[in-house]
């Protein structure tokens, strides 16, 4: 369904899209506010399409919805939750796509061969499917957030100008190809030299460490990837990033275990000191001439009572969690 509407300047018509398949000749489109899903193949091969005005109720862009729209230069998808497979495949002049804070999934080959796309700000994305941005030759930077869980195989294959990515520190972020026995997410990205962690995670992690030697080691580990990556073969960029991330996480797990052991020892000593002080206080107030009974230090009921009355129970419950590493 569609209407033709004058744009106010009298020099061209705007196609008002209300669903279904659009005519091949459209050049300017306004998505009607009644539309929440741009259906599969809606504008496929509309090679003259230049401009699409969207709105804040669009939730989904269907499969191949804009496939082969080679004249389209920009689109606002800030309300979209899902962009399906091949939605913008072959949109070779697409320079700018506005992604919002609701987007969760980008489908297979969704932006394949969008050779003019330069920057990606995907701060809400959870899953990027196979080949979603492969052969995006102008792409130079990508920013993800902590929400990112999976980047599938060949997602950014042969993005030759990609230089910088910002990603969360997580295990199993990259899916593995059991046939080729390799990670191909950034394969062929020969200019990829810089990996940052999202939202200043470097500084947050370093600040959480309570020993200077740990802080020094983790800083060195953070720096290592950006020292090594320029010299790594373009076919092995993903593997290098994955190994580095695993190494950082392994070190953090080691630090957490050591930190927990130190804290547990310190709190145990504090608990015993408070407990002994309470027992000594009780002995001092015992009636003169009475035989002092030996405290049953191995009695759980006595231990529990003294922990409550001496304050150790409050230390364990309220202070100990504050001393743990996240």
Q: Are residues 187 and 54 in the same domain?
A: yes
Distance from first CA to last CA of the chain, Å, rounded? Answer: 54
- Listed in order, strand segments (DSSP E) in the chain are 2-6, 13-17, 28-31, 37-38, 51-53, 60-61, 74-77, 82-83, 96-99, 105-106, 119-121, 127-128, 141-143, 150-151, 164-167, 194-197
Rounded to 5 degrees, what are φ and ψ at 127?
A: -130, 130
Query: How many domains does the chain contain in total?
Result: 2
The band of 249, judged by pLDDT with boundaries at 50, 70 and 90, is confident
Task: Name the percent of the chain lying above pLDDT 70.
Answer: 73
Q: 27-31, 180-184, 220-224, 303-307: lowest mean pLDDT where?
A: 303-307
Say how far apart CA 128 and CA 107 lie, in whole Å.
7
Q: Are residues 73 and 185 in the same domain?
A: yes
Cβ–Cβ under 8 Å, residues 26 and 53? no
Point out which residues pair with 42 in neighbouring strands. Answer: none
Angle at 257 between CA 253 and CA 263, to 5 degrees: 140
Point out which residues pair with 29 in neighbouring strands. Answer: 15, 52
> Can you give the CATH number for the domain in which 105 is found?
3.80.10
Q: Are residues 114 and 178 in the same domain?
A: yes
Q: Are residues 50 and 135 in the same domain?
A: yes
pLDDT at 210: 67
Query: Over 90: is that where the pLDDT of 59 sits?
Result: yes
> Could you tell me if residue 289 is inside a domain?
no
Q: Are residues 234 and 103 in the same domain?
A: yes
Say how far apart CA 114 and CA 137 lie, in whole Å.
8
CA 259 to chain centre: 26
Q: Which domain holds residue 314?
A: 261-283+294-323
Please provide the average confidence, as pLDDT, over all residues in the chain.
Answer: 83
> Could you tell me if residue 288 is inside a domain?
no
pTM of this prediction?
0.78
Q: Are residues 228 and 267 in the same domain?
A: no
Query: Over 50: is that where the pLDDT of 157 sits?
Result: yes
Mean pLDDT of 45-51: 96
């Amino acid at each position: 369904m569609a209407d033709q509407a004058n744009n106010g300047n009298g020099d061209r018509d705007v196609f008002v899209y209300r669903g279904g398949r659009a005519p091949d000749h459209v050049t300017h489109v306004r998505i009607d506010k009644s539309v929440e899903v741009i259906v599969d193949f809606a504008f496929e091969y509309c090679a003259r399409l230049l401009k699409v005005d969207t709105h804040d109720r669009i939730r989904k862009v269907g499969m191949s919805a804009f496939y082969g729209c080679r004249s389209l230069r920009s689109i606002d998808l800030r309300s979209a939750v899902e962009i399906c497979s091949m939605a913008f495949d072959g949109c070779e002049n697409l320079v700018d796509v506005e992604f919002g804070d609701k987007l969760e999934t980008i489908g297979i080959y969704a932006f394949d061969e969008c050779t003019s796309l330069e920057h990606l700000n995907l701060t809400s994305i959870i899953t990027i499917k196979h080949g979603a941005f492969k052969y995006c030759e102008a792409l130079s930077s990508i920013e993800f957030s902590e929400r990112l869980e999976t980047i599938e195989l060949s997602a950014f294959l042969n993005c030759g100008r990609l230089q910088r990515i910002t990603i969360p520190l997580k295990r199993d972020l990259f899916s593995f190809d059991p046939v080729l026995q390799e990670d191909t997410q950034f394969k062929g990205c020969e200019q990829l030299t810089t990996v940052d962690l999202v939202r200043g995670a470097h500084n947050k992690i370093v600040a959480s460490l309570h020993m200077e030697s740990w802080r020094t080691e983790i800083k060195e580990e953070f720096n290592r990837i950006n020292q090594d990556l320029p010299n790594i073969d373009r076919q092995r960029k993903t593997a290098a990033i994955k190994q580095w991330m695993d190494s950082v996480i392994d070190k953090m797990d080691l630090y957490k275990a050591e930190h927990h052991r130190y804290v547990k020892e310190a709190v145990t000593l504090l608990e015993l000191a408070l407990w002994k002080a309470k027992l000594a206080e009780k002995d001092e107030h015992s009636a003169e001439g009475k035989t002092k009974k030996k405290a049953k230090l191995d009695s759980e009921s006595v231990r529990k009572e003294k922990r409550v009355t001496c304050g150790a129970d409050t230390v364990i419950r309220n202070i100990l969690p504050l001393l743990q590493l996240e």
